[in-house]
């Protein structure tokens, strides 16, 4: 019998963000999203426009949209 824990499995979500063109853009988007509650990891890739977010639970899409907007970019949706 395996031991059960109350810790939920992390959730990985890939978002499409338009307008990123460089490492500074990646850092801006990553920085804003990483401030959302429950986020444990963010990796933004300007060349593909993809932002991979690992969080303790599913994130509210509007919260992610607001964070991306605060960084000066546009959330196009989930990849």
In this prediction, residue 38 has a pLDDT band, given cuts at 50, 70 and 90, of very high
CATH code that applies to domain 18-78: 3.30.70.100
pLDDT given for residue 4 in this prediction: 60
pLDDT given for residue 54 in this prediction: 98
* Three-state SS letters, the chain: CCCCCCCCCCEEEEEEEECCCCHHHHHHHHHHHHCCCCEEEEEEECCCCEEEEEECCCCCHHHHHHHHHHCCCEEEEEC
Q: Across residues 29-36, what is the average pLDDT?
A: 98
Count other Cβ atoms within 10 Å, centred on residue 36.
16
Whether the predicted pLDDT of 34 surpasses 90 = yes
């Amino acid at each position: 019998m395996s031991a059960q824990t109350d810790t939920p499995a992390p959730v990985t979500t890939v978002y499409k963000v338009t307008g990123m063109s460089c490492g500074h853009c990646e850092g801006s988007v990553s920085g804003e999203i990483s401030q959302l509650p429950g986020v444990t990891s963010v990796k933004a890739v300007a060349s593909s426009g993809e932002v991979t977010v690992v969080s303790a639970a599913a994130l509210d899409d509007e919260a992610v949209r607001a964070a991306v907007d605060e960084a000066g970019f546009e959330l196009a949706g989930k990849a």
